[in-house]
């Protein structure tokens, strides 16, 4: 067994477990290399498994001596809090220490996906399903004059967080890209993220360098201007606050495009909260949600002061602005924040949910996550190492729930257009959860280089291979789906933005009632579809019989009779 040296008490008897929405139960607790397993004795054996990476924080609360034993509290990344009562202090200490270590391992190659053996063979390999060549093939084929796939970053030398293949304007060659990369923070030069039906494009990048001695970069200007049609202007949408942008020179952050060098571009600031403040916000929200004993006033004031819903609203707002530029004005948009990793990706992905009907299908949404998050180099392992219930000691400034923010915004839009998405909210929940803890390798690695070095595609199974199996996918389909080819404009009024119960309250309010309701909805829709095809089949049968009867002269033909009535 792996990590045997970390597990001093692999099996502890007579542990009392308290789980939200469940009755307390006594049973046996086992620790393995990747899981905590609890099985309750008694008449109805109840068992649950927790993967170590779900644990956000381990709290040990020994009983006050002379009493022995104590309580172990596990705060999890699914926002549940589970506690175990131990009768023996040593076992408590051992288990606590083991879980503390096992849930904090930073060496990714020791994570469960490297050990997980699926009991099925996938029909489609998720590792190859969304390669940029595949994703952009249609675009590059149809717009051969304008766009090309560049392999300038093949060795990840120009930009370590970019994939090896990116789509760039045909008009600029790789040298221009290399020069532009040296001008942008982290080498994240402007690349194509999305091309809308009308031809308007969304590019994304990181910020330009800052400071008084920054020279202009003609290649960067050339790259950007090459996406503009003659006489057209573009928008640079900056997800940082205008006033804070130019100041902190020392850190090397805060650069922006100077108007005089980019005369064809108009810069707009739409600030979105990032990193630490976002995680703090989520923490406050989750803590408020878990505190079921508070009064209505207290709850509402905590909901407000967490600011989470404000951030959701701001992100939606920014995505709407981007979509407006692209759809209504047919203008090009360059989107960036600081490093081009967090708010940039959230907005570019969300804008596509609004703009592109494809991204509202199962395959399209998976592709969107691949393109705009995984391949775009969102550092999932860094960001998701700690979540809302960790404490200030255990988290670091790279931990942030930006991806969760995006998933939440998508849910908000889904609430407003419940028939326009092929998938249901369960699908979104699954994606959010697998991005924090998973038996699959899809969300491992901080960028493509990382994934390449760890040989994830050889050594782990892709989440997409799992999700796209028909028997799994079935439960994530929206029974009310009716493809919607339009741009869907969500409302960003405060009364339209709501707290996502299935995400934040699933351990407070029993979600089963809503699952049942959705099952009923699915049954109603399913029955209707069956009736429809049955009616059509019978009609055909009747018409065949009719034709038969006419040919045998048993019935008048419609043409001869028709003239009588017409």
Partner 1 sequence: MEVIKTPKIENVRMLDRYNNRKPSTGTLYLTATHLIFVDPDAKKETWVLLMHVATVQKLPLSTVGAPLQIRCKTFLSVTFVLPRERECHDLYTSLMQMSQPFHIEDLYCFHYTSSLEEIPRTAGWTFFDLETEFQRMGVPNSNWTMTNLNKDYQLCDTYPQCLFVPSSVSTIVLVGSASFRSKGRLPVLTYLHKNQAALCRCSQPLSGFSARCVEDEQLLNGIVQANPNAKFMYVVDTRPRINAMANRAAGKGYENENFYENIKFQFCGIENIHVMRSSLSKLLEACELKTPSMAAFINGVQSSGWLRHIHAILDTSLLVARSLKEGVNVLVHCSDGWDRTAQVCSLAQVLLDPYYRTLQGFQSLIEKDWLSFGHKFTDRCGYLQSDAKETSPVFTQLVDCMWQLQRAHPSAFQFSERLLLHLHDHVYSSQYGTFVGNCEKDRLDLKLSDRTYSLWGNIASHLDEFLNPLYKSDAYTELLEPNLVPSNILFWRGLYCRFESGVHPRESIADVLLATRDHSTSLEMHIAHLQKRITAMKTLLDVSTPVTDNRLAVDDEDDEQQLGLSLKKSMQVVDDHPLSTSKSADSVFSDGPNIENSITSSYQLRREIDSVCIDWRSLRNIKECVCSTPFDHSSKKSHCWRCGEVFCTRCLDKQTPLPGHATHRPVPVCRACYREVRLSSSSITST
- Say if CB 389 and CB 75 are below 8 A apart: yes
Nearest distance in Å: CB 454, partner 1? 40
228 binds partner 1 (CB under 8 A): no
CB of 366 to partner 1, least distance (A): 23
Name the burial class of residue 562, with classes exposed (0-12), middle (13-18) and buried (19+) by CB atoms within 10 angstroms of its CB: exposed
Within 13 Å and on the Cβ side, how many CA atoms surround 179? Answer: 15
Please state, in angstroms and rounded to a whole number, the distance separating the CA atoms of residues 68 and 513. 41
3-class SS string, 495-534: HHCCCCHHHHCCCCCCCHHHHHHHHHHHHHHHHHHHHHHH
We find the least distance from the C-beta atom of residue 380 to partner 1, in angstroms, to be 28
Smaller CB separation from partner 1, 124 or 510: 510
Closer by beta carbon to partner 1, 101 or else 508: 508
User: In the complex, what is the shortest distance from the CB of residue 502 to partner 1, in angstroms, rounded to a whole number?
Assistant: 13
- If we measure between CA atoms, which residue out of 385, 388, 386, 429 comes closest to residue 407? 429
Question: Of 258 and 549, which has the nearer Cβ to partner 1?
Answer: 549
Decide: is 516 part of the binding site for partner 1 (CB under 8 A): yes
Q: Which stretch binds partner 1 (CB under 8 A): 55-63, 237-245, 307-315, 370-378?
A: 307-315
Asked if 22 is part of the footprint of partner 1 (rule: CB under 8 A), the reply reads no
Q: Should residue 108 be labelled a site residue for partner 1 when binding is judged by CB under 8 A? A: no
* H or E element, residue 323: helix 308-327
Among the listed residues 45, 198, 252, 562, the single contact to partner 1 using CB under 8 A: 562
Rg (CA), the chain: 28
**Enclosing H/E stretch for 236:** strand 234-238
Of 258 and 538, nearer to partner 1 (C-beta) is: 538
Residues contacting residue 379 through CB under 8 Å, at least 6 positions apart? 161, 341, 398, 446, 447
Beta strand 47-51 with 55-62: parallel, antiparallel or unpaired? Answer: unpaired
Q: Which is nearer to partner 1, 11 or 534 (CB)?
A: 534
Q: 10 Å Cβ neighbour count for 477?
A: 16
Query: Pseudo-torsion of CA 216, 219, 224, 227, nearest 10°?
Result: 160
Query: What sign does the CA torsion over 87, 92, 94, 95 have?
Result: positive
Site residues for partner 1, window 452-511 (CB under 8 A)? 480, 482, 484, 486, 488, 491, 493-499, 501, 505, 508-510
Using alpha carbons, select from 211, 206, 209 the residue that is nearest to residue 250.
211
Residue closer to partner 1 (CB basis): 64 or 563? 563
**Token output for 163:** 């994939």
Question: Considering only residues 307, 324, 375, 387, which one is a binding residue for partner 1 as defined by CB under 8 A?
Answer: 307
Chain Cα centroid distance, residue 380: 10
Cβ at position 554, least distance to partner 1 in Å: 5
For partner 1, the closer CB: 138 or 486 = 486
Nearest-5° angle of CA 4, CA 9, CA 14? 145
- Applying the rule CB under 8 A, the residues between 517 and 556 that interact with partner 1 are 517, 520-521, 524-525, 527-528, 531-532, 534-536, 538-539, 541-542, 545-546, 548-550, 552-556
Shortest distance in whole angstroms from residue 548 CB to partner 1: 6
What residues from 417 to 446 belong to the interface with partner 1 (CB under 8 A)?
417-420
Residue nearer to partner 1 on the CB measure, 67 or 296 = 296
* Of residues 31 and 318, the one with the C-beta less far from partner 1: 318
Out of 35, 104, 514, 522, name the contact with partner 1 by CB under 8 A.
Answer: 514
Binding residues for partner 1 restricted to 259-298, rule: CB under 8 A? 288-289, 292, 294-298
Cα separation, 379 vs 388, in Å, equals: 17
Residues 359-418 that bind partner 1 (CB under 8 A): 415-418
Tell me how many residues contact partner 1 (CB under 8 A).
Answer: 76
Choice from 301, 391, 396, 455 touching partner 1 (CB under 8 A) = 301
6 binds partner 1 (CB under 8 A): no
Residue tagged 């989520």 (tokens): 282
Residue 291 tokens, joined = 């505190």
Please identify, using beta-carbon distances, which residue of 105 and 303 lies nearer to partner 1: 303
Out of 299, 382, 457, 473, point to the residue binding partner 1 (CB under 8 A): 299
Write phi, then psi, for 147 (nearest 5 degrees): -130, 150
The least distance separating partner 1 from the CB of residue 437, rounded to whole angstroms, comes to: 25
Q: CB of residue 527 vs partner 1: minimum separation in angstroms?
A: 6
- Residue 193: phi and psi, rounded to 5, are -110, -40
């Amino acid at each position: 067994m792996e990590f045997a040296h970390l597990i001093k008490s692999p099996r502890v008897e007579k542990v009392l477990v308290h789980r939200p929405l469940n009755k307390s139960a006594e049973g046996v607790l086992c620790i393995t290399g990747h899981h905590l397993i609890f099985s309750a004795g008694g008449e109805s054996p109840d068992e649950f498994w927790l993967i170590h990476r779900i644990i956000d924080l381990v709290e040990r609360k020994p009983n006050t001596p002379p009493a022995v034993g104590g309580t172990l509290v596990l705060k999890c990344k699914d926002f549940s809090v589970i506690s175990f009562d131990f009768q023996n202090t040593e076992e408590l200490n051992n288990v606590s220490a083991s879980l503390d270590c096992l849930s904090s391992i930073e060496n990714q190659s020791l994570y469960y996906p490297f050990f997980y053996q699926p009991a099925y063979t996938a029909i489609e390999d998720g590792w190859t399903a969304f390669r940029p060549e595949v994703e952009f093939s249609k675009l590059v084929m149809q717009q051969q004059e304008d766009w090309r796939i560049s392999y300038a970053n093949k060795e990840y030398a120009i930009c370590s967080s970019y994939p090896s293949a990116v789509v760039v304007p045909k008009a600029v060659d790789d040298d221009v890209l290399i020069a532009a990369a040296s001008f942008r923070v982290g080498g994240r030069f402007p690349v194509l993220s999305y091309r809308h039906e009308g031809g308007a494009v969304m590019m994304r990048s990181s910020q330009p360098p800052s400071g008084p001695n920054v020279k202009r970069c003609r290649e960067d200007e050339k790259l950007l201007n090459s996406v503009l049609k003659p006489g057209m202007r573009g928008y640079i949408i900056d997800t940082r606050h205008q006033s804070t942008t130019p100041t902190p020179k020392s850190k090397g952050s805060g650069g922006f495009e100077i108007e005089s060098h980019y005369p064809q571009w108009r810069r707009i600031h739409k600030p979105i909260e990032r990193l630490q403040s976002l995680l703090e916000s989520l923490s406050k929200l989750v803590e408020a949600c878990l505190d079921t004993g508070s009064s209505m006033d207290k709850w509402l004031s905590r909901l407000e002061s967490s600011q989470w819903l404000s951030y959701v609203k701001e992100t939606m707002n920014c995505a709407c602005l981007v979509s407006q530029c692209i759809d209504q004005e047919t203008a090009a948009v360059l989107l960036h924040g600081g490093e081009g990793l967090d708010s940039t990706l959230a907005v570019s992905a969300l804008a596509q949910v609004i703009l592109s009907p494809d991204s509202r299908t199962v395959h399209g949404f998976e592709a969107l996550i691949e393109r705009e998050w995984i391949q775009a180099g969102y550092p999932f392992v860094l960001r998701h190492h700690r979540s809302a219930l960790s404490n200030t000691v255990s988290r670091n400034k790279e931990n942030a729930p930006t991806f969760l923010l995006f998933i939440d915004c998508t849910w908000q839009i889904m609430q407003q257009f419940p028939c326009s998405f092929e998938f249901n909210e369960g699908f979104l929940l699954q994606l959010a959860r697998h991005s924090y803890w998973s038996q699959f390798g899809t969300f491992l690695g901080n960028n493509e280089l990382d994934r390449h070095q760890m040989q994830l595609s050889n050594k782990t199974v892709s989440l997409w291979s799992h999700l796209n199996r028909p028997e799994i996918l079935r439960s994530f389909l929206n029974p009310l789906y009716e493809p919607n080819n339009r741009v869907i404009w969500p409302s960003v009024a405060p009364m339209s933005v709501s707290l996502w119960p299935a995400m934040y309250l699933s351990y407070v309010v029993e979600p089963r009632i809503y699952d049942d309701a959705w099952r009923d909805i699915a049954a109603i829709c399913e029955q209707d579809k069956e009736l429809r095809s049955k009616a059509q089949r019978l009609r055909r049968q009747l018409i065949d019989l009719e034709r038969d009867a006419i040919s045998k002269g048993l019935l008048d033909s419609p043409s001869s009779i028709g003239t009588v009535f017409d």
